[in-house]
Amino acid sequence: MSCGMVCTNMGVKAGKRIGVKGEISPGAKNFVLNLGKDQANIVLHFNPRFDIHGDVKTIVCNSMNKGEWGAEQRESVFPFQEGTNVEIFITHDPSNLTIALPNNHQFKFPNRLGLQVIDFLNAEGDFKIKSVQVE
């Protein structure tokens, strides 16, 4: 997986929404969006897998606390297609992160770190970010 964009010192407070627009590469295997405090404290590891690590058309989510991964959560809804543009919106509060996907799909992932502010975002893999917005 190639190293992609990294944003730090974002200061996105609870209740705000982060929007990421980008293009999924043709022939994509997977991509990752990590949000959190820093590289070792990730409140959301969002990993759509087209066909990698034994997963096919599955979204795998996780968190990392002080460098230690938690339990994976898998979502069977997979509204992504290779070679297309997508928008992903993530809203966080003290309890959950709400991830809004294309085609009106939405799910929640627990805020295991209890983060009140998201300062870190990075993207990796077969996904080219076009824009990041905070609302």
The DSSP result for 81-128, as a single string, is -TT-EEEEEEEE-SSEEEEE-GGG-EEEEE-TT--SEE-EEEEEESEE
- DSSP-derived letter for residue 89 is E
Q: What is the pLDDT of residue 6?
A: 87
Band of residue 5 on the pLDDT scale cut at 50, 70, 90: confident
Between CA 74 and CA 72 the distance in angstroms is: 7
pTM higher than 0.75, yes or no? yes
107: enclosing H helix or E strand: strand 106-110
Residue-level length of the chain: 135
Band of residue 3 on the pLDDT scale cut at 50, 70, 90: low
Q: What is the pLDDT of residue 2?
A: 44
Tokens of 9: 């010192």
pLDDT tens figures, 89-135: 999 999 999 999 999 999 999 999 999 999 999 999 999 999 999 99
All domains of the chain in start order, with CATH: 3-134 (2.60.120.200)
pLDDT tens figures, 40-94: 999 999 999 999 999 999 999 999 999 999 999 999 899 999 999 999 999 999 9
126 contacts 31 by C-beta, under 8 angstroms? yes
Q: What is the pLDDT of residue 55?
A: 96
Q: What is the mean pLDDT of residues 8-21?
A: 95
Q: What is the pLDDT of residue 1?
A: 36
Between CA 116 and CA 84 the distance in angstroms is: 33
